[in-house]
Structure 1
Amino acid sequence: MTSKSTVTQVFDVITAANLAENPSSAEWVRLDDVRAAVPNLGRREVDQALIRLFEDKRLHVAPEENRASLTASQREAALWLGGGYIHYVMLTARPGSGR
């Protein structure tokens, strides 16, 4: 079971990346960036947290359509979800919107 603190840590990383990129709207965040920002968490913990956030409808997920453009670290960071690999996540609500 994924602890609340793990889910919160991963959500906070995605929120911080979003705010750094564009504070006024939700933006796509690469999974390799998410994983690099929480080196204290193992892959399984991050995967479980991402799945939980997706199931709770707090994240949108997307694959990289141009797979040839992926780096080795982007391929390694991908998460198998819903029958395919995802490489990007985005908050379902704009940071600071209260939703």
Structure 2
Amino acid sequence: MKPTAIMCRAQQTRQLALAANAVLPNVRDIATTAAAAWAKEALDADKRDKRTALRQQGVMDAAMALELIASKDRGFSENPDRGFADTGNVRI
């Protein structure tokens, strides 16, 4: 499972709060390092989401292009006196 950007930023905020409230310096250092790691992961998640959105848009564009081509082909028939089989308008 890949974490979402929202979840990563929530974890980053949590780690920054832990660092701010920590009494011990090593706890502060570890929480600050963890916050930086979550920030980097959030950037990666943003890139991943953007790639996914672009991929989905490309699929939608291709589907629309195929539908347009199919609608243009639909008007041409080798047997103009007969309807199309899938519309239920077939004359016998």
Normalising by the residue count of structure 1, what TM-score does the alignment of the two structures yield?
0.25
Larger radius of gyration: 2
Which structure: greater helix fraction? 2
Structure number with higher relative contact order (C-alpha < 8 Å, ≥ 6 residues apart): 1
The structure that is strand-richer by fraction is: 1
